[in-house]
Amino acid sequence: MSPEARQTLEKVLENYRLSGTITHAEQCVSGHINDTYMVTLVGADGSADELVLQKINGYVFKDPKKVMHNIREVTRHVQGKEISGSCDIIPFLDDPQGRNYTCVADQYWRVCRYVKDSVTHDFVEDSRVLYSAGYAFGRFQSMLCDLPMKRLYETIPDFHNTRKRLDAFFAAVDEDPLGRAADVRDSVDFFVQHRELACRLADLQKTGAIPLRVTHNDTKYNNILMHKDSLEPLCVIDLDTVMPGLTAHDFGDAIRFAANTAVEDEHDLAKVGLNLEHYTEFTRGFMQACQGFLTEREVETMALGAVTITIELASRFLADHIGGDKYFRIHRPNHNLDRARCQIRLAEDMLAKYDAMCRIVEDSLYGQPMYG
Ligand code: GN1
Ligand code: MG
């Protein structure tokens, strides 16, 4: 880490009046948007604090104060319920003015404590991880289903407005500033073919057939802190995109990530597909935690949510590739193209397994939840 980067971390801690010496600081590599650092701070009395410092990406989040407002609202709502145990929301520290963020050099930062004995999983080696993550995200919806939506800002307008996303994608193809569109014709055709299917869920919401709810909008299983031994879900993290949305989007985004037989940016498309066993485990956890508040119509649209989000994200990756990789951080040439092709292949496999996906959602609804 450069001396300048370390100085910035020190400044952030100073703003929180957290004194001591940084004995260890390292940047976390996962996540495409914000910059996250794990820091050990040792006080004058020798006690060590494990802290997580995060710089909010100002290109993606145009108004970080609104992001932090939403996080404050959902955290308070859940804390107000005084339900102990399984699955809290990560609390950010307050600065001396009572704000849950601070500013250093015009950048917004926030700080939380490392949750003891917690781990995140970037790969699934034990299918309990999937049940646990499903349960945590389902429970998140359930705990927030009575939070009035008007208290939350739409921090990224039209985040999952699939019609607008696809319009933006086709506009990027037309504009083609770097001459990259010619090489991705086959992928562009995929969106032409599936445009209406991908927009069905957003249309259902527009007509009022399915309700808006408080959603997380980034439901990767590595956004759940789990107990390192028991795998019980401890905490939901990465609340940047909490806002009004559809439960099927949260479910679908989780499946897109968790039940892919390959990684999100897999280059070898033969490895990509929907793992129905992983799908079943996540779905069981999610649906069991959602018992009692989803409408019948919402339950019917869960599998569609997975297809929708996968196609939508594919269009976002490909639009970014065509537009010059401005949104999603890339780590190799054509990275966003690889990501897009992988998501397209996954969506195709989901469509082939669609009936089974719907059946598994129905079958999962009535089981006894594993956590309290
Ligand atoms: C972004 O960086 P990360 O993993 O938190 C993106 C999500 C995408 C995801 C794809 C604000 O989230 O919508 O699904 O990448 N977040 C935003 O990996 O655009
Ligand atoms: Mg995120």
Residue whose pair of structure tokens reads 């399984």 in the numeric block: 86
Domain map of the chain by residue range? 3-113, 127-364
Q: Is the CB of 218 under 6 A from ligand 1?
A: yes
Instruction: Quote the pLDDT of residue 84.
Output: 54
SS3 state at 143? helix
Instruction: Quote the pLDDT of residue 85.
Output: 55
C-alpha–C-alpha distance, residues 33 and 56, integer Å: 8
Q: Is the CB of 115 under 6 A from ligand 1?
A: no
Q: Is the CB of 241 under 6 A from ligand 1?
A: yes
Instruction: Quote the pLDDT of residue 23.
Output: 94
| Shortest-distance Cα residue to atom 17 of ligand 1 | 33
What residues in the chain have per-residue pLDDT under 70? 30, 82-87
User: Would you say 144 and 217 are in contact if contact means Cβ atoms under 8 Å apart?
Assistant: no
Taking the centre of ligand 2 as the mean of its atom positions, its distance from the CA of residue 223, in whole angstroms, is 8
Instruction: Quote the pLDDT of residue 83.
Output: 66
Instruction: Quote the pLDDT of residue 110.
Output: 96
Residue type, 224: I
Ligand 1 atom closest to residue 238's alpha carbon, by position in its atom list? 5
| Shortest-distance Cα residue to atom 2 of ligand 1 | 32
DSSP 274: B
With a CB cutoff of 8 Å and minimum separation 6, the contacts of 169 are 191, 315, 316, 318, 319
Taking the centre of ligand 1 as the mean of its atom positions, its distance from the CA of residue 296, in whole angstroms, is 29
pTM above threshold 0.95? no
Q: Is the CB of 32 under 6 A from ligand 1?
A: yes
Instruction: Quote the pLDDT of residue 153.
Output: 95
Q: Which ligand is nearest to the CA of 33?
A: 1
C-alpha–C-alpha distance, residues 173 and 191, integer Å: 11
Starting from the edge strand earliest in sequence, which strands make up the sheet with 35-42, in order? Answer: 21-27, 35-42, 48-55, 107-113, 102-104
Query: What is the domain class of 3-113 according to CATH?
Result: alpha beta
Instruction: Quote the pLDDT of residue 369.
Output: 82
Which residues, by Cβ under 5 Å, contact ligand 2, an ion?
Answer: 218, 238
CATH of domain 127-364: 3.90.1200.10
DSSP 256: H
Instruction: Quote the pLDDT of residue 294.
Output: 95
Taking the centre of ligand 1 as the mean of its atom positions, its distance from the CA of residue 238, in whole angstroms, is 10
- According to DSSP, the residues that pair with 52 across neighbouring strands are 38, 112
| Shortest-distance Cα residue to atom 15 of ligand 1 | 32
C-alpha–C-alpha distance, residues 260 and 104, integer Å: 39
Q: Is the CB of 232 under 6 A from ligand 1?
A: no
Q: Is the CB of 263 under 6 A from ligand 1?
A: no
| Shortest-distance Cα residue to atom 4 of ligand 1 | 31
Instruction: Quote the pLDDT of residue 125.
Output: 84
Q: Which ligand is nearest to the CA of 30?
A: 1
C-alpha–C-alpha distance, residues 170 and 286, integer Å: 34
Mutate to test the pocket of ligand 1, among 28, 32, 216, 264 (most ligand atoms within 8 A of CB): 32
Taking the centre of ligand 1 as the mean of its atom positions, its distance from the CA of residue 205, in whole angstroms, is 22
Q: Is the CB of 264 under 6 A from ligand 1?
A: yes
Ligand 1 atom closest to residue 329's alpha carbon, by position in its atom list? 2
CA angle 115, 121, 125 (to 5 degrees): 140
